[in-house]
Amino acid sequence: MDIESRLAAYRRDGYTIFEAVYDADTVAAWRDECDRLEASHVGALQQPLRWWFGNMLERSPGLMWPAVSNPQIVAFAERVMGPFVQLDNLTLAAFPPIPREAAAGRVTAWHRDRWAGFPTGEYRNPVSINAICYLQDLTDETGPLRVRVGSHIEPIEMAPDEMMQPHPDEALIYLRAGDVIVTHNGLVHSGSPNISADKRYFFSIYYNSSWMKHTDTFDGPNCQQLIRWARQRNDHRSLRLLGTDDHLQTRGNSGFLQPDEARWRQWSDEDAAALDDSNPT
Ligand SMILES: O=C(O)CCC(=O)C(=O)O
């Protein structure tokens, strides 16, 4: 799908799917990393309901940076949010299976994502987006992703007693391992209980605007090393992902007298021209 059609579908539906972004070996390495973190976890006296590891870029930079900086995904994010795309948080998760009886008639929990607002009936550019990658195929056993299509535009309310139940207007999405779904922060969505024989793994790369605070920290040695590498390359896209936007004052106070998209394109082109990738290491 070309990027303009993808953008139009994303604006209409509240999500878009990039198929087969990662191969089986890459996906297996992320699953192994989740198991490794679980095994090295101190303090858990009993099996938790879910494993949830934040700050994954600092924990596993070599494994996770290629996903955070994936050119296809970040280029799309820049078309949606402008060249203001920062990593808010990167979370690797695994949900152990639960008994089939406990899962009957349940969903994980309907929600809109962090930094969203209640929609007004008109499309608004999101200040944050979620790029979710599942590390096994989603089936009725591993649990599909559920979405309410268009709920990033429509002021759809859900009462507390509806939060954990399937909804008649839901769409079930059966992503394959290695696909990436990019959602608008206003899209109402939920996971599904895992009744398979294995854990249900995924990671969520949550991007927000570089005008905002970020949830993960970038002051650990691994992220600092990435920042030095990006600085050497004059790589503004990577610097922004890592919480440093050199153009924040000029671009964030540009006067706003031209349509956003034209300015965004110009700024993205300037960033690409400034990049010095003669020293890739
Ligand atoms: O468990 C899932 O499939 C959904 C994950 C989710 O809701 C999220 O990352 O915001």
Chain CA centroid to CA 120, Å: 23
- Domain assignment present for 238: yes
Mutate-to-test residue for ligand 1 from 145, 188, 205, 208, highest number of ligand atoms within 8 A of CB: 145
The pLDDT mean for the chain works out to: 95
204 C-beta closer than 6 A to ligand 1: yes
Position 74 in a domain: yes
Q: 120 pLDDT exceeds 60?
A: yes
Contacts of 222 by beta carbon, 8 Å cutoff, 6+ apart: 57, 58, 59, 61
Give me the pLDDT at residue 277, please. 79
* Residues of the domain holding 47: 3-274
For residue 132, give the ligand 1 atom closest to its CA. Answer: 9
Tens digit of each residue's pLDDT (9 = 90 or more) over 200-246: 999 999 999 999 999 999 999 999 999 999 999 999 999 999 999 99
Q: Is residue 279 part of a domain?
A: no
- pLDDT at residue 42 tops 70: no
In a domain, 243, yes or no: yes
Res 112 pLDDT > 60: yes
pLDDT tens-digit map of 238-273: 999 999 999 999 999 999 999 999 999 999 999 999
Number of domains, the chain: 1
Q: Is the pLDDT of residue 55 over 70?
A: yes
Alpha-carbon distance values, 45 to 51, 73, 95, 255 (Å): 13, 38, 17, 56
Closest-CA residue, ligand 1 atom 2, reads: 191
Q: What's the gap in Å between 130 CA and the centre of ligand 1?
A: 9
Give the per-residue pLDDT at 39.
Answer: 87
CA dist., res. 139 & res. 145, Å (int):
9
Q: Is residue 281 part of a domain?
A: no
Report percent pLDDT > 90 for the chain.
93
User: Is 229 within the bounds of a domain?
Assistant: yes
Q: What is the pTM of this model?
A: 0.96
- Kindly state the average pLDDT of the residues 130-135: 98
The CATH number of residue 153's host domain is 2.60.120.620
Let me know if residue 132 belongs to a domain: yes
- Asked if residue 128 belongs to a domain, the reply is yes
Please tell me the predicted confidence (pLDDT) of residue 60. 97
Give the CA count within 13 Å in the CB-facing half-sphere of 158.
23
Question: Which pLDDT band, with edges at 50, 70 and 90, does 40 fall under?
Answer: confident
pLDDT in tens, 153-164: 999 999 999 999
How far is ligand 1, taken at its centre, from the CA of residue 112, in Å?
A: 10
pLDDT band at residue 180 under the 50/70/90 scheme = very high
Give the Cα separation of 210 and 143 in Å (integer). 33
Mean pLDDT confidence for 180-200: 98
| Closest by CA position to 189, among listed 179, 200, 181 | 181
CA geometry: angle 214, 216, 221, nearest 5 deg: 120
Q: How close is the Cα of 15 to the center of ligand 1, in Å?
A: 13
pLDDT greater than 90 at residue 152: yes
